[in-house]
Amino acid sequence: MSENATSATKARLYDAFAASGKALASGKRLELLDLLAQGERTVDALAKAAKLNLTTTSAHLQVLKQAGFVVTRREGVRIHYRLAGDDVARLFALLRRTAEAHQSAVAAARDAYLREDGAAELDREELRVRVAAGDVVVLDVRPVSEYRAGHIPGAISIPVEELAARINELPEDLEIVVYCRSEYCVLAYDAVRLLIDRGRRAIRLNDGMLEWRLSELPVDASDLT
C-alpha cells in the first residue's frame, strides 16, 4: 500500500473514532445517557425528564443511535431506548471523572448544582458493612420507574418529591443512607437536607446507582419495598 493510501485509511479510522466523540459533544445528549444508565425509557419519558421537547429529544437520540451508543425496541407505537451496553455507561462515567480531573470549571459547576455542603458521606463498601450490621436503612430517592429497573437490595423507594409527605414511613431509630442516580445526582443532596431539617439522622452514599452497577454489586429489580 502506498504512503498516500495508508494515510487515507488512517484518516478514515480516526474519523470513525471522532464520530463517537462528536456524539458526546452535547450536554443534553450526555444528560440523556445519564437517564438511560438508570434503565430503558420511551422518548416521551426522556423528553419529560430532560425538560426537552419531543422533536429535540428524538434528534439527540438519533445522533446517539447512529454512534452506536443506544439501541431501540418497538412496543406498539412506542419506541423504547436503552444503552447499547455497560461499556457505554463506563465511557460516560469515565468522561465525567476525566473532565472533573482536568477542567477547573467542572468543580465549580458541580458545587453550584449540587449545593455542596460538606456533609458526611460513606462509600459502597462502608454501606454494605452497615447494612449487614442492620444499623442503617437505605433510601432510594429516584423516580419509581428507575427504582423498579434496578436498585440496591433492601432499599426503600420514596421519590424525593414525596419525601416530606412520607417521612413517617422511615424508621426513627436508624440512620438513613440516601442514594440516587450517581455521584453527580442532586436528588440525594436535597433528600439529606430535608431529612436533617426534619430531625432525622441522614447521610449520603458518595456515588449512586450508576457506580453501584458498574462495580458489579448485587442489583434488585423486584417490586417496591
Which residues are identified as catalytic?
Answer: 180
Using alpha carbons only, how large is the chain's radius of gyration in Å? 20
Q: How far apart are the first and last CA of the chain?
A: 64
Cell of 189: 443532596
Give which of 68, 81, 58 is closest to 23, Cα–Cα. 68
For residue 169, give the DSSP letter: G
- Residue 15 — left, alpha, or beta (φ > 0 → left; ψ -120 to 50 → alpha)? alpha
Cβ atoms of residues 127 and 133 within 8 Å: no
H or E, element range at 35: helix 27-36
Q: Name the residue type at position 20.
A: S
Helix axes 86-102, 27-36, angle to 10 degrees: 130
DSSP-derived secondary structure letter, 174: S
Using CB atoms within 10 Å of the CB of residue 110, give its burial: 0 to 12 exposed, 13 to 18 middle, 19+ buried. Answer: middle
Question: In the Cβ-directed half-sphere of 19, how many Cα atoms lie within 13 Å?
Answer: 12
